[in-house]
Amino acid sequence: MHYSEEFNVKKILVSRAVFPDVIERLKRHFDVETNQEDRRLTREELAVKLVDKDGMFVAGDRIDAEVLAAAPRLRVVANMAVGYNNFDIDAFNRASVLGTNTPDVLNETTADLGWALMMAAARRMSEGERFLRAGKWDRWAYDMLMGSDVYGSTLGVIGMGRIGQAVARRAKGFGMRVVYHNRSRVTAEIERELNAEYLDKEALLKEADHVVLVLPYTPSSHHTIGAAEFALMKRTATITNIARGGIIDDVALIEALRAHQIGAAGLDVFEGEPKLNPGFLDLPNVVLTPHIGSATEATRRAMANLTADNLIAGLGEGPQAGHPPTPINPEVMAHWSHG
């Protein structure tokens, strides 16, 4: 008889490589199958591995009705990310599977990267580095690599959640006017704290010098920014996406950048990533990073440990047993005792 069966130890799958000390934490509670070689598992492999699993630690894997159908024992899928558009939550609810995510622990780090991308795009830093490395810098010229000012300009934030507020908070040190658009207005207290003015999307796009996207990806936010929106923006404006691929219509953005309809873009996320539209690669006026918004050691460790906390507590183990810190659909837990 297998150890986990003999002693009623729950079994989990960790689908991607993660910090070894986090794996050791999980092994104190579970029979753990790992993937420390970090090979992307196929859907067929996932189906086989999940047949006898009670929980799963994931980092971006698509978990939908087809995957869940192959996992009759599965109760908790813990996502090492704040976004969970890789989860079919309706399917989770039908299968009484709890999904969890990692909000808050990456707010400041992601906001930092948003500012880095915005400033790099505004001041043409990637273009300037390529220019220098290619040996093209041989003289001063009044119009060499002229970009746009950040200090004293207007920052437009679309999506004023926790990360959006962190982005806006940094604008104070740059003497910026802050305008924002959100599905609903934030409280008057938050507006005062951030010195932020609510505008509808069209007005924001017309007035902002630098637009930063920080809204969650949902079917309703798909292609929130496309050709019509680029037509509203200033020709010198920048747009930065640290949210999710699909919020911008990448084809329309490439055309807008190529035609200098807007000034520049900073992108950490893309439609269909890790693949990206090759049209971005030959554009000088775009700064590209490979979805590294949360990529500092301290933040990634906090994310991994919160993911583990959710999995441990969600499966009824540890000091928070039955009370995972950041559930997405906690209502499903009410069905477990009756299942």
CA–CA distances in Å: residue 174 to residues 109, 112, 154, 170? 18, 14, 10, 7
Q: How far is Cα 179 from Cα 319, in angstroms, rounded to an integer? A: 43
Strand ranges for 18-91 from DSSP E = 31-33, 55-58, 76-79
| Dihedral sign for Cα atoms in the order 309, 310, 316, 322 | positive
DSSP secondary structure code for residue 87 in this structure: B
Nearest-10 Cα torsion for 180, 182, 187, 192 = -10
How many other CB atoms sit within 10 Å of the CB of residue 217? 18
User: Catalytic site residues?
Assistant: 244, 273, 291
List the 11-14 sheet strands across, edge first: 31-33, 11-14, 55-58, 76-79, 98-100
Q: Which of 172, 188, 191 is nearest to 180 (CA)?
A: 191
Question: How many C-beta neighbours within 10 Å does residue 71 have?
Answer: 23
Residue 41 one-letter amino acid: L
